[in-house]
Protein backbone atom coordinates (compact mmCIF):
# COMPACT_ATOMS: atom_id res chain seq x y z
CA UNK A 1 0.00 0.00 0.00
CA UNK A 2 2.83 2.36 0.83
CA UNK A 3 4.48 1.67 -2.52
CA UNK A 4 1.24 2.31 -4.38
CA UNK A 5 0.65 5.60 -2.58
CA UNK A 6 3.99 7.09 -3.63
CA UNK A 7 4.17 9.55 -6.52
CA UNK A 8 5.34 8.26 -9.87
CA UNK A 9 8.84 9.65 -10.46
CA UNK A 10 8.80 12.23 -13.25
CA UNK A 11 11.82 13.51 -15.15
CA UNK A 12 10.49 16.47 -17.19
CA UNK A 13 12.92 15.53 -19.98
CA UNK A 14 11.39 17.80 -22.63
CA UNK A 15 11.51 20.78 -20.30
CA UNK A 16 15.13 20.14 -19.37
CA UNK A 17 16.03 19.88 -23.06
CA UNK A 18 14.70 23.41 -23.47
CA UNK A 19 16.89 24.60 -20.61
CA UNK A 20 19.97 22.91 -22.07
CA UNK A 21 19.30 24.31 -25.55
CA UNK A 22 18.99 27.86 -24.20
CA UNK A 23 22.24 27.40 -22.27
CA UNK A 24 24.04 26.17 -25.41
CA UNK A 25 22.76 29.19 -27.32
CA UNK A 26 24.05 31.55 -24.62
CA UNK A 27 20.58 32.63 -23.48
CA UNK A 28 20.73 32.37 -19.66
CA UNK A 29 17.58 34.44 -19.07
CA UNK A 30 15.49 32.15 -21.26
CA UNK A 31 17.03 29.08 -19.60
CA UNK A 32 16.30 30.60 -16.20
CA UNK A 33 12.66 31.16 -17.14
CA UNK A 34 12.29 27.49 -18.14
CA UNK A 35 14.04 26.31 -14.97
CA UNK A 36 11.61 28.35 -12.89
CA UNK A 37 8.70 26.70 -14.70
CA UNK A 38 10.13 23.28 -13.80
CA UNK A 39 10.53 24.42 -10.20
CA UNK A 40 6.88 25.53 -9.96
CA UNK A 41 5.59 22.33 -11.58
CA UNK A 42 7.80 19.97 -9.58
CA UNK A 43 6.81 21.68 -6.34
CA UNK A 44 3.13 21.36 -7.24
CA UNK A 45 3.52 17.70 -8.21
CA UNK A 46 5.72 16.90 -5.18
CA UNK A 47 8.67 15.77 -7.31
CA UNK A 48 11.35 16.45 -4.72
CA UNK A 49 14.41 15.55 -6.78
CA UNK A 50 13.28 17.66 -9.71
CA UNK A 51 12.51 20.58 -7.41
CA UNK A 52 16.00 20.45 -5.91
CA UNK A 53 17.56 20.06 -9.36
CA UNK A 54 15.68 23.14 -10.60
CA UNK A 55 16.83 25.13 -7.56
CA UNK A 56 20.46 24.26 -8.35
CA UNK A 57 20.02 25.23 -11.99
CA UNK A 58 18.32 28.50 -11.02
CA UNK A 59 21.22 29.36 -8.72
CA UNK A 60 23.82 28.57 -11.41
CA UNK A 61 21.97 30.46 -14.15
CA UNK A 62 21.54 33.52 -11.94
CA UNK A 63 25.32 33.83 -11.70
CA UNK A 64 25.13 35.28 -15.21
CA UNK A 65 22.09 37.48 -14.59
CA UNK A 66 22.56 39.14 -11.19
CA UNK A 67 25.28 40.49 -8.91
CA UNK A 68 26.21 38.90 -5.57
CA UNK A 69 24.45 35.73 -6.67
CA UNK A 70 26.22 33.50 -4.13
CA UNK A 71 24.97 35.50 -1.15
CA UNK A 72 21.46 35.78 -2.56
CA UNK A 73 21.37 32.05 -3.37
CA UNK A 74 22.35 31.24 0.20
CA UNK A 75 19.39 33.24 1.52
CA UNK A 76 17.00 31.67 -0.98
CA UNK A 77 18.11 28.15 -0.07
CA UNK A 78 17.72 28.98 3.62
CA UNK A 79 14.12 29.94 2.95
CA UNK A 80 13.54 26.74 0.98
CA UNK A 81 15.09 24.59 3.70
CA UNK A 82 13.03 26.32 6.41
CA UNK A 83 9.84 25.51 4.47
CA UNK A 84 10.87 21.88 3.79
CA UNK A 85 10.99 18.74 5.89
CA UNK A 86 12.31 15.20 5.80
CA UNK A 87 14.94 14.17 3.22
CA UNK A 88 14.42 17.34 1.16
CA UNK A 89 15.34 19.54 4.12
CA UNK A 90 18.45 17.44 4.79
CA UNK A 91 19.60 17.65 1.16
CA UNK A 92 19.05 21.41 1.03
CA UNK A 93 21.02 21.88 4.26
CA UNK A 94 23.89 19.89 2.78
CA UNK A 95 23.79 22.02 -0.39
CA UNK A 96 23.72 25.20 1.72
CA UNK A 97 26.81 24.06 3.57
CA UNK A 98 28.49 23.39 0.24
CA UNK A 99 27.72 26.89 -1.04
CA UNK A 100 29.03 28.50 2.16
CA UNK A 101 32.21 26.38 1.91
CA UNK A 102 32.75 27.26 -1.75
CA UNK A 103 32.12 30.94 -1.04
CA UNK A 104 34.59 30.89 1.83
CA UNK A 105 37.26 29.21 -0.28
CA UNK A 106 36.74 31.68 -3.13
CA UNK A 107 37.06 34.68 -0.80
CA UNK A 108 39.45 33.21 1.74
CA UNK A 109 42.05 35.97 1.29
CA UNK A 110 39.53 38.52 2.61
CA UNK A 111 39.21 36.70 5.93
CA UNK A 112 42.87 36.09 6.79
CA UNK A 113 43.31 39.09 9.06
CA UNK A 114 39.67 39.85 9.85
CA UNK A 115 38.64 39.68 13.50
CA UNK A 116 35.33 40.04 15.28
CA UNK A 117 34.44 43.74 15.27
CA UNK A 118 31.43 45.94 15.89
CA UNK A 119 30.85 45.86 12.12
CA UNK A 120 29.91 42.17 12.33
CA UNK A 121 26.34 41.54 11.18
CA UNK A 122 24.86 38.08 11.68
CA UNK A 123 22.81 38.27 8.47
CA UNK A 124 25.60 39.82 6.38
CA UNK A 125 27.97 37.08 5.26
CA UNK A 126 30.39 39.65 3.86
CA UNK A 127 31.26 40.74 7.45
CA UNK A 128 31.95 37.24 8.78
CA UNK A 129 35.31 35.93 9.99
CA UNK A 130 36.77 32.51 9.17
CA UNK A 131 35.46 31.25 12.50
CA UNK A 132 31.92 32.39 11.67
CA UNK A 133 32.05 30.51 8.38
CA UNK A 134 33.34 27.28 9.86
CA UNK A 135 30.77 27.39 12.64
CA UNK A 136 27.94 27.87 10.13
CA UNK A 137 29.22 25.23 7.70
CA UNK A 138 29.61 22.71 10.54
CA UNK A 139 26.12 23.45 11.83
CA UNK A 140 24.57 22.90 8.40
CA UNK A 141 26.38 19.64 7.64
CA UNK A 142 25.49 18.29 11.08
CA UNK A 143 21.88 19.46 10.69
CA UNK A 144 21.69 17.59 7.37
CA UNK A 145 22.39 14.36 9.31
CA UNK A 146 20.11 15.01 12.28
CA UNK A 147 17.22 12.78 11.21
CA UNK A 148 19.42 9.69 11.18
CA UNK A 149 16.74 7.02 11.27
CA UNK A 150 14.73 8.48 8.40
CA UNK A 151 17.80 9.09 6.24
CA UNK A 152 19.13 5.59 6.89
CA UNK A 153 15.82 4.18 5.66
CA UNK A 154 15.72 6.42 2.59
CA UNK A 155 16.97 4.75 -0.59
CA UNK A 156 18.56 6.79 -3.37
CA UNK A 157 16.32 5.82 -6.29
CA UNK A 158 13.86 8.75 -5.86
CA UNK A 159 16.81 11.17 -5.97
CA UNK A 160 18.58 9.86 -9.08
CA UNK A 161 18.04 13.20 -10.85
CA UNK A 162 20.46 15.00 -8.50
CA UNK A 163 23.03 12.27 -7.96
CA UNK A 164 26.23 11.82 -9.93
CA UNK A 165 26.29 8.05 -10.31
CA UNK A 166 29.38 5.97 -9.68
CA UNK A 167 29.75 2.25 -10.28
CA UNK A 168 29.55 1.06 -6.67
CA UNK A 169 26.10 2.12 -5.44
CA UNK A 170 26.24 -0.74 -2.91
CA UNK A 171 28.84 1.24 -0.94
CA UNK A 172 26.46 4.24 -0.58
CA UNK A 173 23.06 2.52 -0.33
CA UNK A 174 21.13 5.14 1.65
CA UNK A 175 20.67 8.90 1.68
CA UNK A 176 22.40 8.97 5.06
CA UNK A 177 25.52 7.41 3.49
CA UNK A 178 25.53 10.00 0.74
CA UNK A 179 25.01 13.04 2.98
CA UNK A 180 27.47 11.76 5.57
CA UNK A 181 30.15 11.34 2.92
CA UNK A 182 29.50 14.92 1.73
CA UNK A 183 29.93 16.13 5.29
CA UNK A 184 33.14 14.12 5.71
CA UNK A 185 34.70 15.85 2.69
CA UNK A 186 34.53 19.01 4.80
CA UNK A 187 35.22 17.66 8.29
CA UNK A 188 38.21 15.60 7.12
CA UNK A 189 40.01 18.59 5.62
CA UNK A 190 42.99 20.05 7.45
CA UNK A 191 41.58 23.56 7.88
CA UNK A 192 44.13 25.90 9.47
CA UNK A 193 42.29 29.21 9.28
CA UNK A 194 40.44 28.90 12.58
CA UNK A 195 42.05 30.22 15.74
CA UNK A 196 43.02 27.16 17.77
CA UNK A 197 42.02 27.19 21.46
CA UNK A 198 44.35 26.05 24.22
CA UNK A 199 42.22 22.91 24.55
CA UNK A 200 42.39 22.08 20.82
CA UNK A 201 41.15 18.57 20.09
CA UNK A 202 43.76 16.13 18.80
CA UNK A 203 43.37 12.50 17.84
CA UNK A 204 45.72 11.05 20.43
CA UNK A 205 43.76 7.97 21.51
CA UNK A 206 44.74 4.51 20.31
CA UNK A 207 41.00 3.70 20.38
CA UNK A 208 40.53 5.75 17.20
CA UNK A 209 42.14 2.83 15.32
CA UNK A 210 40.30 0.04 17.14
CA UNK A 211 38.43 -2.63 15.16
CA UNK A 212 35.06 -1.38 13.90
CA UNK A 213 32.91 -3.18 16.49
CA UNK A 214 34.94 -1.58 19.30
CA UNK A 215 35.46 1.80 17.66
CA UNK A 216 31.73 2.59 17.50
CA UNK A 217 31.49 2.36 21.32
CA UNK A 218 34.51 4.52 22.14
CA UNK A 219 34.06 7.98 23.66
CA UNK A 220 35.92 10.91 22.12
CA UNK A 221 35.34 13.90 24.39
CA UNK A 222 36.41 17.50 23.82
CA UNK A 223 35.66 21.08 24.80
CA UNK A 224 36.81 22.20 21.35
CA UNK A 225 33.40 22.85 19.78
CA UNK A 226 34.89 23.92 16.44
CA UNK A 227 37.08 20.85 15.94
CA UNK A 228 36.50 19.38 12.48
CA UNK A 229 38.41 16.20 13.29
CA UNK A 230 36.23 15.46 16.32
CA UNK A 231 33.07 15.80 14.25
CA UNK A 232 34.57 13.56 11.55
CA UNK A 233 35.21 10.83 14.12
CA UNK A 234 31.62 10.97 15.35
CA UNK A 235 30.26 10.72 11.80
CA UNK A 236 32.51 7.74 11.10
CA UNK A 237 31.12 6.08 14.23
CA UNK A 238 27.55 6.50 12.96
CA UNK A 239 28.37 5.30 9.44
CA UNK A 240 30.21 2.23 10.71
CA UNK A 241 27.44 1.47 13.23
CA UNK A 242 24.92 1.64 10.36
CA UNK A 243 26.75 -1.08 8.39
CA UNK A 244 28.05 -3.33 11.18
CA UNK A 245 25.28 -5.87 10.68
CA UNK A 246 25.09 -5.72 6.86
CA UNK A 247 24.86 -9.14 5.26
CA UNK A 248 27.30 -7.94 2.60
CA UNK A 249 30.27 -6.32 4.40
CA UNK A 250 31.42 -4.27 1.38
CA UNK A 251 30.02 -0.93 2.60
CA UNK A 252 31.39 -1.56 6.11
CA UNK A 253 34.87 -2.41 4.81
CA UNK A 254 34.89 0.66 2.58
CA UNK A 255 33.93 3.20 5.26
CA UNK A 256 36.08 1.51 7.92
CA UNK A 257 39.19 1.71 5.73
CA UNK A 258 38.30 5.33 5.02
CA UNK A 259 38.14 5.96 8.79
CA UNK A 260 41.45 4.21 9.42
CA UNK A 261 43.27 6.23 6.75
CA UNK A 262 41.78 9.47 8.06
CA UNK A 263 42.92 8.69 11.62
CA UNK A 264 46.35 7.58 10.39
CA UNK A 265 46.85 10.95 8.70
CA UNK A 266 45.49 13.04 11.59
CA UNK A 267 46.63 11.11 14.67
CA UNK A 268 49.38 12.44 16.95
CA UNK A 269 49.72 9.15 18.87
CA UNK A 270 53.40 8.09 19.05
CA UNK A 271 52.58 4.49 18.03
CA UNK A 272 50.18 5.35 15.22
CA UNK A 273 52.19 3.50 12.55
CA UNK A 274 51.95 0.20 14.41
CA UNK A 275 48.28 0.83 15.22
CA UNK A 276 47.53 1.64 11.59
CA UNK A 277 49.16 -1.56 10.36
CA UNK A 278 47.29 -3.64 12.93
CA UNK A 279 44.01 -2.03 11.86
CA UNK A 280 44.34 -2.67 8.11
CA UNK A 281 45.85 -6.11 8.67
CA UNK A 282 42.91 -7.02 10.92
CA UNK A 283 40.40 -6.14 8.17
CA UNK A 284 42.42 -8.00 5.53
CA UNK A 285 42.40 -11.21 7.57
CA UNK A 286 38.89 -10.84 8.99
CA UNK A 287 37.41 -10.59 5.49
CA UNK A 288 40.18 -12.32 3.54
CA UNK A 289 37.79 -14.23 1.24
CA UNK A 290 35.60 -11.18 0.56
CA UNK A 291 36.28 -9.28 -2.70
CA UNK A 292 35.91 -5.92 -0.90
CA UNK A 293 38.86 -6.84 1.31
CA UNK A 294 41.23 -6.47 -1.65
CA UNK A 295 41.63 -2.77 -0.75
CA UNK A 296 42.79 -3.77 2.74
CA UNK A 297 45.32 -6.22 1.29
CA UNK A 298 46.55 -3.47 -1.02
CA UNK A 299 47.07 -1.10 1.94
CA UNK A 300 48.95 -3.83 3.82
CA UNK A 301 51.20 -4.34 0.79
CA UNK A 302 51.76 -0.60 0.48
CA UNK A 303 52.72 -0.42 4.16
CA UNK A 304 55.43 -3.06 3.65
CA UNK A 305 56.60 -1.33 0.47
CA UNK A 306 57.04 1.99 2.30
CA UNK A 307 58.93 0.29 5.13
CA UNK A 308 61.19 -1.41 2.58
CA UNK A 309 62.37 2.02 1.46
CA UNK A 310 63.94 2.52 4.92
CA UNK A 311 66.23 -0.51 4.52
CA UNK A 312 69.92 0.39 4.67
CA UNK A 313 72.40 -2.55 4.45
CA UNK A 314 75.03 -0.59 6.40
CA UNK A 315 72.81 0.92 9.11
CA UNK A 316 69.22 -0.26 9.56
CA UNK A 317 68.38 -3.72 8.21
CA UNK A 318 65.05 -4.04 10.08
CA UNK A 319 62.94 -4.02 6.93
CA UNK A 320 65.29 -5.97 4.67
CA UNK A 321 62.61 -8.39 3.45
CA UNK A 322 59.57 -6.11 3.47
CA UNK A 323 59.54 -5.76 -0.29
CA UNK A 324 59.13 -9.52 -0.57
CA UNK A 325 56.20 -9.25 1.83
CA UNK A 326 54.70 -6.50 -0.26
pTM of the full predicted structure?
Answer: 0.90
pLDDT of residue 49: 96
Q: For residues 251 and 290, what is the distance between their CA atoms, to the nearest angstrom?
A: 12
pLDDT of residue 191: 64
Mean pLDDT of 123-149: 91
pLDDT of residue 6: 54
The mean pLDDT value of the chain amounts to: 90
pLDDT of residue 5: 42
**% residues pLDDT > 90 (the chain):** 72
Within a 10 A sphere around the Cβ of 164, how many other Cβ atoms? 4
With beta carbons less than 8 A apart as the criterion, state whether 24 and 133 touch. Answer: no
**189 vs 52, higher pLDDT:** 52
Q: Which residues contact 87 (CB under 8 A, 6 or more apart)?
A: 48, 150, 151, 154, 159, 175
Domain ranges of the chain: 1-66, 69-187, 196-326
Amino acid sequence: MNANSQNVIKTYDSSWKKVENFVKKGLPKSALEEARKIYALSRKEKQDAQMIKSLIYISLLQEQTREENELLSIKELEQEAAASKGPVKSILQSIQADIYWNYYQAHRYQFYSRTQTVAFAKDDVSTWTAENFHKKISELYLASLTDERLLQQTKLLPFEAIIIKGNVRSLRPTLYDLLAQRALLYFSNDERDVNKPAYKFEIDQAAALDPAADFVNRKFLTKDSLSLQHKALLIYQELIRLHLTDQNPAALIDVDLQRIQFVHNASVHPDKEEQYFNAINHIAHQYESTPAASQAWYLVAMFHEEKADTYDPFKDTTHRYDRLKA
